[in-house]
Structure 1
Amino acid sequence: MALKTATAVAAGILLAGCASRYTPTPLATNFPTTKQAKLQAAYHWGVISDNIEKNIVAQLKKGPPRPVFLNEPKEPSAFQRALTTQLTTSLVNDGYVVSRSPAGSLKIDMDVQAVTFNANRPQYRYHGESAALATGVWVLSEIEAPVLAGVAVGAGAWDSYAWFNAQFAPGATPKTEIIVTVSVSDQFRYVARTTSAYYVADSDRVLYGIIDPEPVDPAQTRIFKVRGDM
């Protein structure tokens, strides 16, 4: 063990000594581990709406009370339509006057920006998996959690493993994300504003207004070369 430790330290010193002190561009590094919610049901849209409403109300309370008007897009996606409806309900239930006309009201605008990254993005979770020690006895090894690391218990350990693993959305990291920005403003200034980002199931892209082009069949594509003057 001591030999392995000494070897690792020596290797670290050697690598540190070889690192370049000057580079033409900043070195690419990873951000600290964070979590981002994945939208998979209409109920999740309601959770988003409630969170947006709480943030907006907290900022609206800083000024005199005024009616608000939700400015729905002309051709809203299913997500935008649901979010507008749920946000209206939350504001009304919290005692705010939601006007059906923009005249004399603060305007609430909603912007949903869809971002598509490269497919097959990496999925980082934790190190270690469950393993059976004996009948009804499982071990959770090398899991980076204070209460679960290296714990071997009875049959209930599988429930603990399933509970720990349930926090992660199934499948690979989606290639689709949306950035939701809700702004409250009048003709002169922004009164409140909130922005948040979410993963979106790639199979549900159409619900967020993302229309993918039809695939082109190479067998039906021909290339013509034009020669001479037109």
Structure 2
Amino acid sequence: MRTRPRLFRLPTFLQAASVGVASLLLSGCFYANTSQAPIATTYPYTEQQRMQAAHHWDVLARHEATSILQRERVRNRDLYISAADDNDVSTYRGGEFGRGFRTLLTSELVSRGANLTTIPTVNGAIITVDVDVVEHRDRGFVRPPTGAFTALTAGVAVATIPINHWAEPALGLIPAGILADITSGSWTNTGNEEIIVTTQIIDGERILYSSSNIYYINAGDRRQYAPHSIPRAPVTPTVSITDTW
């Protein structure tokens, strides 16, 4: 009896893999040759700190004082830290960050031997601090903190162990809780409010030093950084009625 030769067949998982590779190759060809609009992509992973304590203002003041005194052009100059500009009409006056940061920067510079004056001098330079608030109104998807998905999946995996091995299933959440406690301290929400803090040293028409730093802030803290950007509350009209006899 003549037997029919058996055809070699790939295992099922190899068939699926080959189909996937072929699809990727084909999609790559289409992608490389046809595109009616630029394809959206992302930036490399970066981190940005959130400013939400007066201690953070002090950290920035120490950083700026160190950077300023490293500049040969300003190290031995008389420096005057200008006050906040209050010329704009605003419902709120002051600005806790403006006053606090200038005070902290003054303390840091004086403690390190800088020549600070209470009024501008002829041969001195002026330190200015400017704060810009950036509000994002239509942000797309923002990737969660690094390790968030890993921590969540690890917690789910650990929670299934006690069902088979431990007497009390709730004990399986303990390792997940420990993992969350270890990693959650470095997580915070991205938010839609940012500030750009720019510190400059100006001598006449020359800029001797300029440094800008960007931070996230809490939405409710905007008044601390840019009081002039808070809208004025609507005025309720009043009507007086007088009786005439």
TM-score range, shorter chain: 0.7 to 0.9
Name the CA shift for 1:55/1:64 in 2 (closer, same or farther; >3 Å): closer
What TM-score do the two structures reach when normalised by structure 1? Answer: 0.74
- Partner residue in 2 for 1:40: 52
- Partner residue in 1 for 2:105: 87
- The correspondence of residues 54-65 of structure 1 with structure 2, limited to 5 A, is 54-58=66-70, 60-61=71-72, 65=76
Bigger radius of gyration: 2
Q: Is the 8 A contact 2:69 2:75 kept in 1?
A: no
Paired with 2:234 and 2:45, the residues of 1 have a C-alpha distance of 36
- Partner residue in 2 for 1:69: 80
Q: Is the 8 A contact 1:121 1:175 kept in 2?
A: no
Paired with 1:61 and 1:179, the residues of 2 have a C-alpha distance of 25
Paired with 2:73 and 2:177, the residues of 1 have a C-alpha distance of 50
Equivalent pairs: percent with the same residue? 24
Query: Out of 227, 230, 236, which is 1:211 matched to?
Result: 230
**Offset of 1:46 from its aligned partner?**
1.3
- One-letter code of the match for 1:163? I
Paired with 2:16 and 2:196, the residues of 1 have a C-alpha distance of 47
- Partner residue in 2 for 1:111: 130
Paired with 2:97 and 2:22, the residues of 1 have a C-alpha distance of 55
- Partner residue in 1 for 2:209: 192
The DSSP-based 3-state class of the residue aligned with 1:182 is strand
Structure showing greater relative contact order (alpha-carbon pairs closer than 8 Å, 6 or more residues apart): 2
Deviation readout 1:63-105 (Å, 9 max, x if unpaired): 6611111112233521111111111111011111111111121
Q: Is the 8 A contact 2:137 2:192 kept in 1?
A: yes
Structure 2: runs of 5+ lacking an equivalent: 1-12, 87-93, 163-168, 236-245
- Partner residue in 2 for 1:201: 218
**Offset of 1:15 from its aligned partner?**
1.8
The DSSP-based 3-state class of the residue aligned with 1:115 is strand
- One-letter code of the match for 1:54? T
Q: Is the 8 A contact 2:191 2:217 kept in 1?
A: yes
Name the CA shift for 1:53/1:4 in 2 (closer, same or farther; >3 Å): farther
- One-letter code of the match for 1:91? L
- The structure that is helix-richer by fraction is 2
Paired with 1:121 and 1:19, the residues of 2 have a C-alpha distance of 23
**Offset of 1:27 from its aligned partner?**
3.5
Q: Is the 8 A contact 2:201 2:209 kept in 1?
A: yes
The DSSP-based 3-state class of the residue aligned with 2:179 is helix
Q: Is the 8 A contact 1:112 1:179 kept in 2?
A: yes
**Offset of 1:113 from its aligned partner?**
0.8
Name the CA shift for 1:77/1:22 in 2 (closer, same or farther; >3 Å): farther
Structure 1: runs of 5+ lacking an equivalent: 139-154, 217-230
Paired with 1:64 and 1:207, the residues of 2 have a C-alpha distance of 30
- Partner residue in 2 for 1:96: 114
- Partner residue in 2 for 1:152: none
RMSD: 2.7
Name the CA shift for 1:14/1:109 in 2 (closer, same or farther; >3 Å): same
The DSSP-based 3-state class of the residue aligned with 2:25 is helix
The DSSP-based 3-state class of the residue aligned with 1:166 is helix
The DSSP-based 3-state class of the residue aligned with 1:177 is strand
What TM-score do the two structures reach when normalised by structure 2? Answer: 0.70
**Offset of 1:4 from its aligned partner?**
4.7
Paired with 1:95 and 1:34, the residues of 2 have a C-alpha distance of 35
Name the CA shift for 1:5/1:167 in 2 (closer, same or farther; >3 Å): farther
**Offset of 1:12 from its aligned partner?**
2.0
Aligned length: 197
**Offset of 1:35 from its aligned partner?**
0.9
